[in-house]
Structure 1
């Protein structure tokens, strides 16, 4: 094996998703994932601390994109408009070639308590990052937290629809989901 391989991180993610879908998460080892990717076990651990984290590879990128998008919204933007800007900012992280990951990833994550727990932690991390960005815009709680929670729920609902082949872009779906959630929240009164 070469000492350095291009796109090692993405290759490890793809290999893990394939193997976890084929033989189950718990039955798959890090060594098998590395071998499938054509890399070493040491290379795996340079990118991920354990076999669980390979499934959540984009978490930090998504948290950063959401926060940066909210920060870049116009000064006069409402909290929901800032969240919409945050969602728009994440669109580039969902290229069309990654659509096929979604259904398999959801099935794998849904297969064990450990992965469902990690997914819940990821959701909380995204909400915290977006809430912090809204606080920096001067939006107080509970408005900032509620807007962030709506945004992250829209993010996940859009991802599910996008990876199932719905809609032309993640951004369009995310905005539509945010509008639908806002309408549902408004109907609660």
Structure 2
């Protein structure tokens, strides 16, 4: 059984922070400000969106080009560090000089625990993972596998006769999903922003029959 996942992305890495300031907004989400640079006009659009976000994300600001199109933004990522790094790389790709870009803010999901972790998932991926866990309790005579890449894409196989088949299907769907999400992206931008090791889909977990 195949599940194709639609992935929402506005893709986009990390400059030294000037002075981090962590704030909790009314919903419990955490917004971390890394710079006190003054924003102008349309630059505030990504920042306003950040205050509504409930995922790992980051915004980098171009300090000389004061337009929203010059920002670098990363939304819906599996982890905060990659979101920060890609936001900076996106900003630098558009900038005349790399040093014009600063990491402005980061956002993490509601209730996120900042204690060190080896792996985290985007909120959408967590919801899908929890669904697969529930599905596994009902379909305990087959293999199920969950795959992710290093950015934001995820996919799963809900029922397969063997571990190999489940993992193969999850990886194929993950790769196909990411490929579809890139069709409207500028190839030069994608090459500048994405690290090769982040693009490869890997198995996050495989459930065995019980």
Bin for the TM-score computed over the shorter chain = 0.3 to 0.5
TM-score norm. by structure 1 comes to 0.32
Q: Flag the structure with more relative contact order, 1 or 2, with Cα contacts below 8 A and sequence separation at least 6.
A: 2
* Structure with greater helix percent: 1
